[in-house]
Chains A and B, each alone.
Chain A
Amino acid sequence: NAGVTQTPKFQVLKTGQSMTLQCAQDMNHEYMSWYRQDPGMGLRLIHYSVGAGITDQGEVPNGYNVSRSTTEDFPLRLLSAAPSQTSVYFCASSYRGVGAEAFFGQGTRLTVV
């Protein structure tokens, strides 16, 4: 069972470069989310989606774009990378419904120099 797959696992970018973090799930989950984890800050929600074609902003959306053209995929785009975006990024998915367990990917460690 693949679950939630994130690629790449590690990435180094130069300031100003753009890139897309990939997230794919094979569980037919309606909900997908992106979080970033920084030391001392816990996980913070960037963007989320409750179904294909529907996205919304979380706590820290600035500098990131998302789209949800299929149920399976939820890519996160960094438009112009900044050192403040150095972080570990996690993608998660879940069924819609009370108590539905969220499944997390293994994370993407991004460094912006």
Chain B
Amino acid sequence: SQELEQSPQSLIVQEGKNLTINCTSSKTLYGLYWYKQKYGEGLIFLMMLQKGGEEKSHEKITAKLDEKKQQSSLHITASQPSHAGIYLCGADINYGGSQGNLIFGKGTKLSVKP
């Protein structure tokens, strides 16, 4: 079965610093999704990557999917306290590209110190 490994498990950064979170799959990814979860709340969709080499950005967050489609990275530039939360990567288990049924990594807990 497919597994997603996220690293690091937790991260504490000073406000203004850049950071990167990684998500590695045991199998080829047909759709990779990044979500953010604030403590005690539901998940918020950030972005979705499908093609090898694809890169997407939203505000100060950039996500990439490598050419072999087995690893994705999420990069935050000039981190702010509002970036704090748990970041999760997810992949479609039926390889159909939809988000109907996903497997998830265990998440990366990000804290940003002011």
The interface of chain A, by Cβ under 8 A from chain B, is 4, 30-33, 35, 40-45, 48, 50, 56, 58-59, 90, 92, 94-107
Contacts and interface: CB of A to CB of B under 8 A. Distances in A.
24 contacts: A4-B42, A30-B100, A33-B101, A33-B102, A42-B104, A43-B90, A43-B104, A50-B100, A56-B101, A58-B101, A59-B103, A90-B43, A92-B43, A94-B99, A98-B97, A98-B98, A99-B31, A99-B50, A100-B100, A101-B45, A101-B48, A104-B44, A106-B41, A107-B41
* Interface size of B as a range: 20 to 34
Contacts of B97: 97-99
Given A40-B106, A45-B103, A105 B42 contact: yes
B114 interface: no
Interface string B33-46: 10000001111110
Contacts of B31: 98-99
Contacts of A30: 100
Given A40-B106, A44-B104, A98 B50 contact: yes
Contacts of A103: 45
